[in-house]
Amino acid sequence: MKKFLMLLCAVTLVFGMIVSANAMSFTLKSYTVTTSSTGLNLYSSPILKPNANFNLSKGESITFGLFELGSNESSASIRNWYKKISVAFSFSNPQVSNTATGHTFGFLSWGAVKWNNPLEFNFGSTGLFTIALQNRLLRLPGSTTINAKLTYVTANTAPVPEPATILLMGAGLLGLVGYSRKRFSKKS
């Protein structure tokens, strides 16, 4: 039983170190959608609120609705065939910014948006995450939801443990100390 408790404490300690090396919190401070003044007449409406927070482990992804994109036009013609679109992202954790670009086009009663994906965000010496925006079709008039997929690709070489991990490691160490004190007090 004693060896089992000691093994359990050691596993808890090691697991806490592994989790801290791979987990990261991302905070999207703001984003701005911009369309060009020529082409298909578009509007956008934000879905994701400012300061949205995502907790991901290395290699993990999350997909979320970013904004609604639409047009009140009933049909598209050659004059409004092609239009540039961009989304400027600003993160407060980590402190990085970048802009996704793409284009929209329409034909008869349909419109579409195509993104130049994925957008890369480098932070620290080796940290990297990406955002891929979803290509979508929309019926004219009408709207569609543009989804974003955030992927935590690589971690920094020297991760900073989060408070929960430090607490988990401390509990493991206290368990080891308590076990060894109990063991030595029984021998006396």
Average the pLDDT over 157-180 and give the result.
65
If you search the block for the tokens 């086009």, which residue do you land on?
105
Q: How far is CA 90 from the centre of its chain?
A: 12
CA–CA distance, 80 with 86 (Å, rounded to integer)? 17
Please report, for the chain, the start and end positions of each structural domain, with discontinuous segments joined by +. 26-158
Tokens of 155: 């971690």
Closest by Cα among 35, 137, 43 to 88: 35
pLDDT at 17: 47
Q: What percentage of the chain carries pLDDT values higher than 90?
A: 47
Alpha-carbon distances, residue 114 vs 5, 82, 106 (angstroms)? 56, 11, 11
Task: Give the pLDDT confidence score for residue 7 in this predicted structure.
Answer: 55
Q: Mind listing the pLDDT tens digit for each residue in 40-80? A: 778 899 999 999 999 999 999 999 999 999 888 887 765 55
Q: Residue 75 contacts by C-beta under 8 Å, 6 or more apart in sequence?
A: 106, 108, 109, 140
Residue with the bigger pLDDT between 20 and 7: it is 7
Lowest-confidence pick of 70-79, 85-94, 102-111, 127-136: 70-79
pLDDT band (50, 70, 90) for residue 19: very low
Query: Could you give the 3-state DSSP secondary structure of residue 25?
Result: strand
Question: So what's the pLDDT on residue 162?
Answer: 60
Task: Judge residue 150's burial from the number of C-beta atoms within 10 Å of its C-beta, 0-12 exposed, 13-18 middle, 19 or more buried.
Answer: buried
Higher model confidence: residue 110 or residue 121?
A: 121
Better-scored residue on pLDDT, 87 or 170: 87
Predicted TM-score (pTM) of the model is 0.70
